Every structure is written in C-alpha cells, then in structure tokens.
C-alpha cells in the first residue's frame, strides 16, 4: 500500500514557465516532507523540505506547499530551466529518519 503517491509519471514544461509537481500521502504521522532530484546515472540529491507544522517553504526558484488537511504537497519551480529536467521524488519522513518515497515524476523543460 503506497503511503506516498506521485500520480503524474511525467510533466513537460516550456522554459521560463512554472513547473508544478504534486504529491499525496496517507499517513498523518509524517513530520517532514522532502523533495529529491535525480539526474540519470546519479543518486537522488536533496532539494527542499518542509516541516509538517508549516504550509510553505521557499528556496530561490523552488517553493514547496503543504496542505495537511488534504494530505497534499506540491513543488513549484519558477522560472523553469532546461537544467531542471530530472526525476523528482517526493518523500515523507517517519519516526527516526526513515523516508517513504513516491515513484517519481519525470520533468522535461523544453527550451
């Protein structure tokens, strides 16, 4: 049973526009949510996170929004750049530092 779901396997966006990647979760005990970015032939790298007690966290072009009542979070990238093309994984933290991952969304930014 998937506790973290990324329902869009892929997303294509024009350079300069906004990219919105979505993630849903089922476990209300998750206390942190993270986004990881993965390029081909590399491991996932941490991008941005948000605590469950917040609803927004911003870092440069990247903003993560959390809607706890809907058990939904989203990653906004604006403006999108070709170098942002990668697989984006949503992850949620359980007790300790165990992470539960979604299946990922492939983002393609077209120039």
Name which position in 49, 62, 76, 108 contacts other proteins (CB under 8 A). Answer: 49
Q: Are 66 and 52 in contact (CB under 8 A)?
A: yes
Asked if 41 is part of the footprint of other proteins (rule: CB under 8 A), the reply reads: yes
Asked if 4 is part of the footprint of other proteins (rule: CB under 8 A), the reply reads: yes
**For residues 79 and 108, which CB has a smaller minimum distance to other proteins in the complex?**
108
Stretch touching other proteins by CB under 8 A, among 13-21, 36-44, 66-74, 78-86: 36-44
Q: HSE on the CB side for 105, CA within 13 Å?
A: 24
What's the residue count for the chain?
111
CB of 43 to other proteins, least distance (A): 3
Site string for other proteins, 74-103 (x = CB under 8 A): ---------------x---x--xxxxxxxx
Give the phi and the psi of residue 46 in degrees, each rounded to 5: -65, 135
Name which position in 19, 44, 71, 75 contacts other proteins (CB under 8 A). Answer: 44
């Amino acid at each position: 049973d998937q506790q973290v779901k990324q329902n869009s396997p892929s997303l294509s966006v024009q350079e300069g526009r906004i990219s919105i990647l979505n993630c849903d979760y089922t476990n209300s005990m998750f206390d942190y949510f993270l986004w990881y970015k993965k390029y081909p032939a590399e491991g996932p790298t941490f991008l941005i996170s948000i605590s469950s007690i917040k609803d927004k966290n911003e870092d440069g072009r990247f903003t993560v929004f959390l809607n706890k009542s809907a058990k939904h979070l989203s990653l906004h990238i604006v403006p999108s750049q070709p170098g942002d093309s990668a697989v984006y994984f949503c992850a949620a933290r359980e007790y300790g530092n165990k992470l539960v991952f979604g299946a990922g969304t492939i983002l393609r930014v077209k120039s």
